[in-house]
Amino acid sequence: MTISRIYCNRETRQAFRLIWGGWLNALEKATGKRLKMKVIHKEGKLGTMLMDGSAPQIQGLGDVLIKENNPSVSGIHTMDAMRIVIPLVRTCDWHFKHNLDPLSEVLTKEEMDRIRLFRFLITQEEMDEFIEWASTHEEKKLRDWIANKVAHPWYIPSLCRHFSQIPQLDWDLSPADNNLNETSHPATNKATGIGLTLVEVIETTKPYDLQVYTDRKKLDETCVQRNLHNTIMHRLASNGRRMNSRALRSNEDHEMRVKLTAITQQLAEVNEQKRALAARSKELREVKKQTSGGKNRKLKVAAGRRPTLPECGDIVRYSEKENQDPFVDTSGLSGPTPLQLDPALEPPPPSAYSSSFAPKPTLYSYPSFPPSTCPPAFYEGIAPVASSSTHHLHTTDFTWNVN
């Protein structure tokens, strides 16, 4: 519930000193009591004050707390406005992460993770090591960032739990961010408008605040029961569940980023292969152009127009016949049945010839000719003689010499 609104167009130490002092005086005037803080007055319920990390805001608050402080009551004897706020002020986690956006543009993911997680450091040695690393980093933006944080003694205690002077219970019960307050701005702007003068803002905001007060009063009058599940144990459990949910979402986001990075790398490799293939294709086109002489040639020819030669192994079907004479037909060596001729076609017997008949072979003869269909008597005293013309050799053009 918003209990007060302050409008200001300056962000200086003096302006915030007036804002904090006027806020405390307004609360006292409205309630009749001065606001009590645990660390300053040792009474009251205000244990922490959540800020957005603005230095003038903290400095102005420190100036007001020095006036509010009674060392005999609080036990705080410092007069330094930068240190009196350490037991009271806590920095919003969301504003801390949001203010790191400029660094994420120049640093790696591993370096940004180390910066985001430094608020969970435990020992002073770890903190000194982190400060040394950031102070000597090659990136100037990081060196300037850490120099600004170290210059304010309240910053690290307000952000890091293990270095804070706020009581542990008050730290655990206080919210880690002021998103609840930040999200109330749109509702207020919707009800009052923006771009108004100071008087117009006050006049338009008053009816809205009265409506909020009326709703709250009605809730009290209707005796709305107190939430029994809002004990310290329940609040701590709820905070733990919220932190666990945020961690799970963060892990899912990290896994998604890893997958997207791998896909991006694969796409880069595919694009590189495409460029290499395009270059190779261009090179082959140039070679083809030079080989063809710049002419279009037919690469597909009909099967009947291509001269084909048999393979060496296709001439003889069986390996055992490779050494046989290709001109000799041995298919009839097994003794085929001779053709029976008409008796009138049978040649005369040898006795019909004179005794002086003797066949004389000339030139050369081919042995192992296949058996003829003529009767055996046809071969007696006769030898085949090849013609002198080798052109007719394949037609077995033979002559017979008879003396």
Q: What is the pTM for the complete model shown?
A: 0.52
- The Cα-based distances of 384 to 212, 368, 381 in angstroms read 137, 12, 10
Q: Is the domain of 79 the same as that of 208? A: no
Q: Is the domain of 167 the same as that of 204? A: no
Over residues 49-74, mean pLDDT: 91
Q: Binning pLDDT at 50, 70 and 90, where does residue 392 land?
A: very low
Report if residue 330 sits inside a domain. no
Of 225 and 253, more confident = 253
Q: Is the domain of 143 the same as that of 201? A: no
Instruction: For 12-35, give the DSSP string.
Output: SHHHHHHHHHHHHHHHHHHHSSPP
pLDDT one-digit tens code per residue, 79-130: 999 999 999 999 998 889 888 988 988 999 999 999 999 999 999 999 999 9
Q: Binning pLDDT at 50, 70 and 90, where does residue 253 land?
A: very high
Which helix (H) or strand (E) is 89 found in, with range? strand 89-91
| Residue at which a domain ends, from 161, 182, 203 | 182
What is the reported pLDDT for 177? 84
Q: What is the chain's percent helix, strand, coil content, to nearest 5? A: 55, 5, 40
Q: Binning pLDDT at 50, 70 and 90, where does residue 403 land?
A: very low
Q: Is the domain of 136 the same as that of 237? A: no
Q: Is the domain of 73 the same as that of 164? A: yes
Q: What are phi and psi of 37, to 5 degrees?
A: -115, 140
Q: Binning pLDDT at 50, 70 and 90, where does residue 231 land?
A: confident
pLDDT above 90 covers a percentage of the chain that reads: 40
Per the document, the length of the chain is 403
Taking residue 78's Cβ as centre, other Cβ atoms within 10 Å add up to 13
pLDDT at residue 390 above 60?
no
What is the reported pLDDT for 393? 44
Q: Is the domain of 202 the same as that of 175? A: no
Number of domains in the chain: 3
| Residue at which a domain ends, from 243, 267, 284 | 243
Q: What are phi and psi of 91, to 5 degrees?
A: -95, 140
Report if residue 324 sits inside a domain. no
- The Cα-based distances of 259 to 256, 263, 267 in angstroms read 5, 6, 12
Q: Which residue has the tokens 């982190």?
A: 130
Report if residue 3 sits inside a domain. no
What is the reported pLDDT for 178? 81
Residue pair 107/178 in contact by the 8 Å Cβ criterion: no
Query: Which structural domain, as residue segments, surrounds residue 38?
Result: 13-182
Of 229 and 255, more confident = 255
Q: Is the domain of 107 the same as that of 145? A: yes
Which helix (H) or strand (E) is 49 found in, with range? strand 49-51
DSSP strand pairing (385-386 vs 398-399): antiparallel
Report the candidate in 58, 5, 42 with the shortest Cα–Cα distance to residue 184.
5
Those residues whose C-beta lies under 8 Å from the C-beta of residue 341, and which sit 6 or more positions away, are 373, 374, 375
Q: Is the domain of 128 the same as that of 203? A: no
Instruction: Please state, in angstroms and rounded to a whole number, the distance separating the CA atoms of residues 346 and 80.
Output: 150
Q: What is the distance of C-alpha 27 from the center of its chain?
A: 55
pLDDT one-digit tens code per residue, 293-340: 777 777 776 665 555 655 655 555 555 655 666 665 555 555 556 667
